[in-house]
Amino acid sequence: MAKLGEMEKLQKDRLIIWRRQHTIERIDGPTKPSRARRLGYKAKVGFVVARVRIEKGGRHRRLYGRRGRKPSKSGLTNYTYGKSLQWICEERAAKRFVSLQVLNSYLAGEDGREKWFEVIMADPNHPAIKNDKNYKWLATPGNRRRVLRGLTSAGKKSRFEQRSKSRRGTRTRQK
C-alpha cells in the first residue's frame, strides 16, 4: 500500500498535468475506479468519462462600458450560483458530448483555484447499453437531457437547496 506522502505527490503531479489540458477532456478511464463504479460506471463499450475543470468561487458580473470611477455598490461581485459547481460541470460535459447522457459525476481533484470533476456518461444508442437491463432506461425518451433538468444527483441536491433558500426567512406564527 502506498504511503500518504506518495499519494499526495501523485495527486499533485496529476493536477500539474491537468492544468495544461483543455477545460473538458475525454479520458480513457476514471481516475478513481471504485468511486466511478459506485456511481454507475461500467468498463465496457458505450461508457465515456470526461474530466471537466471549473474555477472555484462565486460569479463576477462584467463591468459595463462607462467612464469614470467604478461605484463600490455597482453589483459586480458577491454573486453565488443557484447551482453547485458539480452540476455546472455536468451540464458543460453534456453540451460538449451531445449524443451522450450524463449518469453521474464525482470530484477528481482540486487546488487553490480550480476543481476537477469526472463526469460519467453513457451512449443511449449503443447496442451494449440498449441490451443491458440496468441501463436501457437511458434510451427511453423521458430520460433525454436529464442533466439539464436537474435529474442527476448533483442536480437534485442543488434543486433542494434552492427550495430551502426561498423558505429560509419564513416562519409560521404561533398563537
Q: Does residue 171 belong to any structural domain of this protein?
A: no
Cβ–Cβ under 8 Å, residues 88 and 54: yes
Domain count, the chain: 1
Q: Does residue 170 belong to any structural domain of this protein?
A: no
The string of DSSP letters for 58-111 reads -B-PPPPS-SSPPPTTSS-S-B--SS-HHHHHHHHHHHHSTT-EEEEEEEEEE-
Q: Does residue 173 belong to any structural domain of this protein?
A: no
Element (H, E) at 117: strand 114-122
The domain of 31 spans 16-57+77-165
Residue 31 is given by DSSP the state S
Q: pLDDT by residue for the chain (175 residues), tens digit each? A: 567 789 899 999 999 999 999 999 999 999 999 999 999 999 999 999 999 999 998 877 777 776 777 777 777 777 787 889 999 999 999 999 999 999 999 999 999 999 999 999 999 999 999 999 999 999 898 888 999 998 999 988 887 655 555 555 555 555 5
State the CATH number of the domain containing residue 31. Answer: 3.40.1120.10
Q: Residue 22 and residue 64: Cα distance in Å, rounded? A: 29
For residue 80, what pLDDT is reported? 80
Q: Does residue 70 belong to any structural domain of this protein?
A: no
For residue 76, what pLDDT is reported? 77
Q: Does residue 159 belong to any structural domain of this protein?
A: yes
Q: Does residue 45 belong to any structural domain of this protein?
A: yes
